A and B are shown apart, each in its own frame.
Chain A
Amino acid sequence: MIDPALIQSVIRILFAVVIVTAAYIISTRNLISLVSVYAVQSLTLVFMALALWSLEGVTVLLGIAVVTFVSKVLVIPYFIASIQERIRIRRDIEFHFLSPTTSLLLSMALILFIYIALANILEGTPARESLFFFGAVIGLSLMLMGMMVTFSRKRAITKVLGYLSMENGVLLFGMFVTELPFIIEFLIIIDLVILVILTTILTVGLDSTLEEYHQRLHRFHLVGDTEDGP
């Protein structure tokens, strides 16, 4: 049996890795590394689930680790990387509302806010002192940081990655705080896979901004309106 203190310190290191990947996703403009960093983030969650499993012995965590590994480390990054290869975009340099620097600073404020809010909510309970408190804070922060990526980027493909990293936050929160039923986690992952497959099908629009994408849908008669003819 491995020493629980060692596992706890491993989990703390994994928290640090998650934060680093989240900060990278929020600030990078290089799309190719974005996907691999997302895969690294998911892999970190896999390791975290494994570490928690060896700490608590709940088999559901093992299941989560396997499902996450197959879907988020292998399948989804592979799909997105193959889309990128096809549409040949390398960089995402357009932003709505917030530049990467501003969103990085804003996410710092968000983390502080979540920390204080959760500390007040959990004050006096045993959960306040444990690792689970940190898990909750980082899970929620990851979720909100993913949300920020989703609304501050213009390219559809980065929006998808923001959404995916948001789901990683939900998973992290679920792993540490609540006993998220396995079936729900499984359904979420199926949703994600379908989302990514949809984006693969819609490859035609991915190298554009969402505004352009709507125009393209019109141009290809994918949306039923006939006002501008060919």
Chain B
Amino acid sequence: MNLSFGLYLILNTVAVLLVAPLFVSIIKKVKARAQGRSGQSVFQIYFTLAKLLKKETVYSSHSSWVMRLTPYVSIAAMLVAALFVPLVFVPEPVGGIGNIILLLYLLALARFFMALAGLDAGSPFGGMGSSREMSISAIIEPTTIIVFAALVFVFKSLNVFDMFAASAAAGAPSTPTLILLAISLFIILVVETSRIPVDNPETHLELTMIHEGMILEQSGKNLALMELSAAVKLTLLMALLLNLIVPFGLTTTLAIGTIAVAAVLFVLKVTVLAGIIGLFESSMAKMRFFRLPSLFAMAFFFSTLIIIIEVFA
């Protein structure tokens, strides 16, 4: 492991932890504005997280070690996954870091433990949330795999770092197939981060909640860790989409100037994307559960098309 990679490990993790909550609250702010409210300050979430970290953690008397372990597994899996998706600086990959299949499994690991924790406390809402989450993930995962396979076919590499380096060198979307891929990735982003039209992150209404249902029994610093890992997941999926489709600013050289420019550009790009997500969520209603497969079929359709084009053309 060389120096630049070590530096990357530290910088990327710190950057993700710092900016991830901000992006969540930008989406919230855009949604509030779309509804005619002024909304809370975009920095409020940092105070909320700090307060939660100080609070006492309460466990249900029915809960087991799963409940205690899950927040740590979740945040650890997300932070490792975040290392696979460089935000602003792409070093040479070392070892298995950056492997796209491993990335998928890390996301799956966090989700598996979250579903277990939902069941663990014995609350019916948690169980319902877990059951819905697992049903959805059983349908979305083939689609996710196909979308990532399409990425692999387009960039001819299994490593996210190589993909980013290729798109950063091109400076613009290298093939028009990436437009189709952007739609697929956007659908994956919406599904994986439990946003409208799949799930509603704002509500605690028992009929609709999926992600919120699973973390309903979490409290104190465990809740803060769960919220933070959800934010990190959102950031890493947004970074994956942005750095592949609009890679300008992404740098492969370790110099303070270029990295600073890249960081500013990255925050700008993500803010725009967060705005788009906010408007997208405001413009539509939550889908009926049984209609979700048609949304996933769209992502499946485009990415299979890309694979067909890449294989035959």
Give A contacts to B, CB under 8 Å: 9, 12-13, 15-17, 19-20, 23, 27, 99-101, 104-105, 107-108, 111-112, 115-116, 119
| B301 in contact with A104 (CB, 8 Å) | yes
Interface centre among A20, A100, A101 (most CB of B within 10 A): A101
Point out the residues of chain A lying under 8 angstroms from B179, CB to CB.
13, 16-17, 20
Instruction: List chain B residues, Cβ under 8 A from A104.
Output: 294, 297-298, 301
CB distance from B300 to the nearest CB of A (A): 8
- Are B180 and A101 in touch, CB under 8 angstroms? no
Chain B residues with CB below 8 A from A16, complex form? 176-177, 179-180
> Is the Cβ of A111 less than 8 Å from the Cβ of B297?
no
CB-CB under 8 A from A13, the residues of chain B are: 176, 179
Interface residues of B in 254-295 (CB under 8 A from A): 293-294
Cβ distance A192 to chain B, nearest Cβ, rounded Å: 27
Interface of B (DSSP majority class): helix
Q: For the complex, is B183 an interface residue (Cβ under 8 Å from A)?
A: yes
Given contacts A9-B176, A15-B176, contact A115 B297 (CB under 8 A): no
What is B's interface to A at a CB cutoff of 8 Å? 175-177, 179-180, 183, 293-294, 297-298, 300-302, 304-305, 308, 312
Tell me whether B312 and A119 are in contact (CB under 8 A).
yes
Cβ of B293 and Cβ of A101 under 8 Å apart? yes
State A105–B293 Cα separation when bound (angstroms). Answer: 12
- B residues within 8 A CB of A116? 312
Q: How many angstroms between the C-alpha atoms of A90 and B247 in the bound complex?
A: 39
Whether A23 pairs with B308 at a CB distance below 8 angstroms is no
Please determine whether A111 and B298 come into contact, CB atoms closer than 8 angstroms.
no
Bound CA span A12–B306, Å: 13
A107 to B304, CA, bound (A): 11
In the bound complex, what is the Cα–Cα distance between A108 and B301 (angstroms)?
Answer: 7
B308 A101 Cβ-Cβ under 8 A = no
